[in-house]
Amino acid sequence: MNNYSPEELASFRKVFEEAITSLLPMTLTISNRLQIAQNILSCAATGERDESELRVTALANVKGPQQI
């Protein structure tokens, strides 16, 4: 189990919220939200902390169109 600092958790939350806002309303499903969270935490577990890298990974495997 990974232990994250408050700063890291704040960064992950920011990335999550940015990923959510990039989705079209019709794709804001619970499944997609869970996928985004899982993607962020899986990437972070490898040691990645760069927000831009986490953001790219966050949207991997998300179903449906995304806003530009």
Domain segments of the chain as ranges: 6-58
Q: What's the pLDDT tens digit per position in 42-59?
A: 999 999 999 999 999 999
Say which residues have a Cβ less than 8 Å from residue 26's Cβ, sequence separation at least 6: 64
Q: In the predicted model, is pLDDT for residue 10 greater than 70?
A: yes
Taking Cα atoms as reference points, which of 67, 62, 66 lies closest to residue 34?
A: 62
Residue appearing with tokens 């927000």: 51
Q: In the predicted model, is pLDDT for residue 1 greater than 90?
A: no
Q: In the predicted model, is pLDDT for residue 9 greater than 90?
A: yes
What secondary structure letter does DSSP report for 2? -
pLDDT of residue 18: 96
Please tell me whether the overall predicted TM-score, pTM, comes out greater than 0.75 for this model. Answer: yes
Say which residues have a Cβ less than 8 Å from residue 36's Cβ, sequence separation at least 6: 16, 19, 20, 58, 59, 62
Q: How far apart are CA 11 and CA 3, in angstroms?
A: 14
Q: What's the pLDDT tens digit per position in 20-34?
A: 999 999 999 999 999
pLDDT of residue 67: 57
